[in-house]
Amino acid sequence: MADFSIKASPPTSVDRNQFFNSTANLRNYWFPVVPSNELTAKPLGLHLWGDPLILYREPALNVAVALEDLCPHRAAPLSVGRISDARAKLPAARVRQYPVREADEWVWVWPGDPESAEQREPPGVYLAWGRPRDVRPWTGYIDLDIDHSLLVENFLDPAHLPFTHDTTISKRANATSLTIKDVHFSLESVKGTQVTPERPDLPGVQFEFRPPCLVALKFRADRATPQPSPSPPTHAKDPAGDSAPPVKFQAFDQTFYAIPTRKGHCRFIYFQRMPFIPDPAAALWSYVPPLKWMTSWYLHRFNKRVLLEDYALLKGVQKNLRWGAKAIDKRTAAPADTIVMVYRDWWRKMIGAGQVWFAGYSSDIEDIHLDNCNTCGD
């Protein structure tokens, strides 16, 4: 049986309804949107919950800025322009500015109430094995024309791995009966542990969904190789509150963000720590810099290859849902679908009504652009 060193439920344990009700406004979160080293003084246009955004780095202060991508004069997208001196020239002009922070080498944007941003903790990447251990993750992103909800569901579904990913992260020979047990709700997340009773040799994984769009995978401790520490041992704390081994710990976890850019589109962002690959801050890379670049390049291509194995299936599901099909029929659900069903129920309540998405700049629209426009194809 998988050992995650979780002996008891944390004190924040709640029931299903409390978890559902703890995420009232899905815009009041920090979202990573672009790596810090990619943001320059050149305007960058992107979307978040459908909001058209322009991001750039203010040259004088070297700080990230996020604005609505709308010229207050003629409604042109600001992202097609350029930054001159980043100073306001027209006091009467008003453009919405979004709260922005930089953390963990990423630019984070808050699309909700600006005042609420000041009351929340600063942004940062959530890692299942915790942050105290000095192990940095490899990271990257891939843009997809797949709805973020389908990508989240995909990450929470372990049963498809032996069939869809036979040539990458699993094998068809590993297909076996599978269930999700020890489902635990807190105000921040829902977790469940993968159990394969007929194949105890398979690696144990804990799946966690954290609203609004994060999936964390925590691989069992005996899959993470301890190494002797040159300094006196310390008992670091596991996120669940239990002591970790008194050795240097090699974390094995993965965090996936399915950033909701537009309906039917998302930005997949990954953060991965693996015991068999030195982390990006390891001293090794300072001796062989090209090797670090090659490792990052390989991981990005590998992650893209894994995603492409899911692509045709997810595009087909997206098309069928658009035609009115059910996302999941509980009459035919399998034990492995436990967290997927929790997520879909949560999605129906929190996102299905569509109120979180961009609704336009004004309800007083003079020139209405019809859906399914024959001219532009949108």
User: What pLDDT is recorded for position 342?
Assistant: 93
Please tell me whether residues 45 and 94 are part of one structural domain. Answer: yes
Please tell me whether residues 137 and 189 are part of one structural domain. Answer: yes
**Domain of residue 333, residue span:** 16-23+126-350
Phi, psi of 160, rounded to the nearest 5 degrees: -80, -10
Q: Which two tokens stand for residue 36?
A: 């810090």
Q: Which residues contact 165 (CB under 8 A, 6 or more apart)?
A: 306, 309
Q: Which of 52, 85, 119 is the last residue of a domain?
A: 119
CA distance 299 to 168: 12
Q: Does residue 64 surpass a pLDDT of 80?
A: yes
User: What pLDDT is recorded for position 339?
Assistant: 92
CA distance 221 to 215: 19
Please tell me whether residues 92 and 131 are part of one structural domain. Answer: no
Please tell me whether residues 306 and 211 are part of one structural domain. Answer: yes
Residue 9 covered by a domain: no
Q: Does residue 149 surpass a pLDDT of 50?
A: yes
Count of domains in the chain? Answer: 2
CA distance 160 to 165: 8
- Mean pLDDT, the chain, whole residue set: 82
Segment (H or E) for 292:
helix 289-322
Please tell me whether residues 87 and 131 are part of one structural domain. Answer: no
Please state the pTM of the whole predicted model: 0.84
Stretch 5-13: mean pLDDT: 45
Q: Does residue 11 surpass a pLDDT of 80?
A: no
Please tell me whether residues 210 and 276 are part of one structural domain. Answer: yes
CA distance 109 to 105: 13
Please tell me whether residues 189 and 92 are part of one structural domain. Answer: no
Neighbours of 251 (CB within 10 A): 24
Residue 367 covered by a domain: no
- Asked if residue 150 lies in contact with residue 319, where contact means CB atoms within 8 angstroms, the answer is no
Percentage of the chain lying above the pLDDT 70 cut: 81
User: What pLDDT is recorded for position 178?
Assistant: 84
More confident residue, 39 or 21: 39
Confidence of residue 136 (pLDDT cuts 50, 70, 90): confident
Q: What is the pLDDT of residues 272-324, one digit of tens each?
A: 998 889 989 888 999 999 999 999 999 999 999 999 999 999 999 999 999 99
Q: What is the pLDDT of residues 319-368, one digit of tens each?
A: 999 999 988 888 888 888 899 999 999 999 998 777 899 988 865 544 44
The CATH number linked to 317 is 3.90.380.10
Residue 364 covered by a domain: no
- Asked if residue 197 lies in contact with residue 177, where contact means CB atoms within 8 angstroms, the answer is yes
DSSP 158: G
Residue 6 covered by a domain: no
Lowest mean pLDDT among 42-51, 168-177, 287-296: 168-177
Please tell me whether residues 103 and 227 are part of one structural domain. Answer: no
Q: Does residue 44 surpass a pLDDT of 90?
A: yes
* Peptide bond connecting 11 to the previous residue in cis, omega within 30 degrees of 0: no
Q: Does residue 116 surpass a pLDDT of 80?
A: yes
CA distance 227 to 276: 12
Please tell me whether residues 65 and 210 are part of one structural domain. Answer: no
Q: Does residue 93 surpass a pLDDT of 70?
A: no
Residue 359 covered by a domain: no
The CATH number linked to 107 is 2.102.10.10
Q: Does residue 258 surpass a pLDDT of 70?
A: yes
User: What pLDDT is recorded for position 240?
Assistant: 39
Please tell me whether residues 256 and 173 are part of one structural domain. Answer: yes
User: What pLDDT is recorded for position 320?
Assistant: 94
